[in-house]
A and B are shown apart, each in its own frame.
Chain A
Amino acid sequence: MAARLDLLQVAGARILVVEDESAIAGDTERSLKALGYRVSGRAGTGAGAIDQAVATSPDAVLIDLRLPGPLDGLGAAKEIQQRLRIPVVFLTASADEPTLRQVELPSPFGYVVKPFDDRDLQVALVIALCRHRAQVEIERQVKERTREVAAAEERSRQAAARADRLRAQMAAVFEAMSEGVFVFDLQGNAVLVNEAHVRLAGFSSAAEMMKGSLASYAELYELTTLDGTPVSVEQWPAARVLRGETLSGLELVGRRKDSDQRWVFAFSGSPVPDDDGQPALAVVITRDVSHAKRGEARLLESERRFRFLADHLPQIVWTANPDGYLDYYNERWYEFTGLPRGERCDGNWKPILHPEDQERCDAAWYHSVATAEPYQIEYRFNDRKAGSYRWFLGRALPLRDEAGRVVKWFGSCTDIHDQKETEEKLAAALHIREDFVAIAAHELKTPLSALLMHVQSLQRARRAAAVPVNLDERLDKAARAGRRLDKLLAQMLDVSRITSGRLRLELEPLELRGLVEEVTRHFAEQVQRVGSSLHVTARTRAFGLWDRLRMEQAFTNLLANAVKYGEGKPIDVELREEEGHAVVLVTDRGIGIDPSQQKVIFERFERAVGTREFGGFGLGLWITRQLAEASGGRIEVESTLGQGSTFTLRLPIQPTEEPPAHP
């Protein structure tokens, strides 16, 4: 095609004219120009032809066969053709035609027999130019094709080498994988298996394993689910993948029937499509997770044991993460709190904890979490069944890994309420006893002081050989101080007896009226001394079974108080009988008792007017209350501050047939 187009392009071609006869050369040039060619140069010898050809690079050389000089036209043409690959057309005499036919030239050539006309010249030139161009084109194309073939060969060689390399790498990867890789074709025949799979499945070599197919493996192995359900060969991972499924991490138990070896396998796999996108191969990757499964099972077992133990402990047990998040409570906690099981643990203890303990608890816990120091605290939890708070001892220790990092906190809450209450009672009892001893020592010192002063003073008088004028009176006073000491000691013993539950009433039939009157008489002197007066109204005899000494003691206490706090004003004592009870009322018109104090005055060591201001242990009313209660009765007070008090003693009358002893 290209050559044909070139035919039209011979016009304007540049021609070298080589002719030793200048007339012919001139004619030829004129003919060439007339035909539309250009003349690139002219030469008259063979050597000149070569020089001109080199210098002007003509499209063709028109050369006379016979030239003068050592190199004739034929030699020059040969040289030009070989060196410059320029087509040559000979100008020749007809006699030389046979010679020309025998000439062997490397490229096709043409010739024109002299004399020639324009047409002859044109034909010869067109043929030569076109043949030359065609030849050049063919040579170019051959070269190009040769190059292309060589490049294609190189590319294919490189691709083959790459493929080989990739195949080798893939094989290495397959063999290096710890997972077993098994490739099946659509018929279930083994196509590829790696070393790991050979080992995994208990074969001796890949070659041995490759002999098998899915069907033959089904004879050798059985697969079950983790809970033991058999898996048919149609449901084996390879079969499912061959049907186009993609699997990931499917855990199954495998057993080799001949050796009874067992594994837990995790299967993954996917189909490999052919060029049409249809499944062609099944790749199944198998991982042996037996060890991990055993570890998991051991962990579960260990956890199950911990929970069993924790749930059966009498204490509340809990665990927390290293960051302090509570993640577990034992059964005891849910029993105690009534909180629903399975709800998030962290923070659900807040409403159970006593509001006053929350800040302290938070501070202690977060300190421990931050420092990994053991946690210990005493706090109160609401006991929903009792509707009150109970004291607990909360403790926790961190569990650390080999690197010393905290991995878990294990905590417990132990009910220490009863223990704490006992401790508190004991502490209170000890405190009371210390108080009592202090008060007793102090109070005993007052009459002792008086007694000692009287005695020492009399001793001093005697040493001075002087007899005091009022010796008898002084001795009486000393004796009275001694009796007061004795009374205080008796009171102390009473307290001891009452608190230890050793108070026994010795009942005898007698009239309470006589007893009241007798005690009142004992106070006559004292009443007179403070400028008071005492009036007794007995409306009943109140005959029954009474403990004489204890009743006397009770009335004495009430009267002593009336005198002590009566501010010297008249005191009334009344005895009456109401609903089977003897009622004794002692009324003074003294300082009275503040309403807030009226209850506590019957407690041990309580006195409305402040500690020890009025002397005595402050035990009188407490002892009186204990005596009244021991007799099945009670004591009450009515009082107005600044106006006086009325103490009412109500004692059940125990009737008796016996005649009353004289009081």
Chain B
Amino acid sequence: MLVVDDDPDIREALRDTLEQEGYCVAEATDGSAALSYLRSSPPPPLILLDWNMAPMNAAAFMEEFSREPAYAQIPVVLLTADVKADERAKAIRCAGYLTKPVTLDALFETVARYCR
């Protein structure tokens, strides 16, 4: 799966945790890095997307992402500390959301739902 977050600590924690569970994790530091990854790699079964990133944030990424029919089948789960995570995710058409700080149970449950 692809983890998109501009905070190296979060990327690292997610990668370590998910890899420990046997998942294969790719990283991108922001929206544009994620787009270039998608253009050059086979489509991941899931994208974990941080809300607040720079230079390209989640909303801008989703706009570009939605325009590409090839990505239509890739589910995107929004990672955010915002209390309105639900609304945010809906607004930019994400498949689901996880609130920070992320609990492992929630993380694994979400990941398991999309990556079989």
Contacts and interface: CB of A to CB of B under 8 A. Distances in A.
B62 interface: no
Contacts of A460: 20, 104
B109 interface: no
B101 A480 contact: no
A22 to B, nearest CB: 163
Interface stretch (A299-307, A333-341, A607-615): A607-615
Contact of A448 (B14, B54, B101, B107): B101
Contacts of A461: 20
12 contacts: A445-B100, A448-B101, A449-B100, A449-B101, A454-B17, A470-B16, A480-B9, A484-B9, A529-B8, A613-B52, A613-B55, A614-B6
Contacts of B10: 446, 449-450
Nearest to A612: B52
Interface size bracket, A side: 20 to 34
Given A446-B10, A446-B81, A449-B10, A457 B55 contact: no
A613 B57 contact: yes
The 10 closest A-B pairs by CB, nearest first: A613-B54, A449-B101, A450-B13, A453-B13, A457-B17, A445-B81, A450-B9, A456-B104, A449-B100, A445-B100
Contacts of A445: 81, 100-101
Contacts of B100: 445-446, 448-449
Contacts of B14: 453
Interface residues of B, number: 24
A474 interface: yes
Nearest to B30: A613
A449 B102 contact: yes
Contacts of A610: 54
Nearest to A448: B101
Contacts of A474: 16
Interface in B1-51: 6-10, 12-14, 16-17, 20
B73 interface: no
SS of B interface (majority): loop
A470 B103 CA distance: 21
Contacts of B12: 450, 477
Contacts of A591: 55
A533 B55 CA distance: 22
B26 to A, nearest CB: 18
A481 interface: yes
Interface of A: 441-442, 445-454, 456-457, 460-461, 468, 470, 474, 477, 480-481, 484, 529, 591, 609-610, 612-615
A447 B8 contact: no
Nearest to B10: A450
B74 interface: no
A453 B17 CA distance: 7
B104 A442 contact: no
A612 B5 CA distance: 13
Contact of B16 (A447, A451, A477, A614): A477
Contacts of B107: 453
Given A454-B16, A457-B17, A609 B55 contact: yes
B8 to A, nearest CB: 7
Given A445-B100, A451-B13, A457-B13, 13 more contacts: A441-B81, A448-B101, A449-B10, A449-B13, A450-B7, A453-B107, A456-B104, A460-B104, A477-B12, A477-B13, A484-B9, A591-B55, A613-B52
Contacts of B103: 452, 456
A613 B6 contact: yes
Given A450-B13, A454-B16, A615 B7 contact: yes
A72 B54 CA distance: 170
B53 interface: yes
Contacts of A454: 13, 16-17
B17 A615 contact: no
A578 B94 CA distance: 56
Contacts of A449: 10, 13, 81, 100-102
Contact of B9 (A442, A447, A468, A613): A447
B55 A446 contact: no
B40 to A, nearest CB: 19
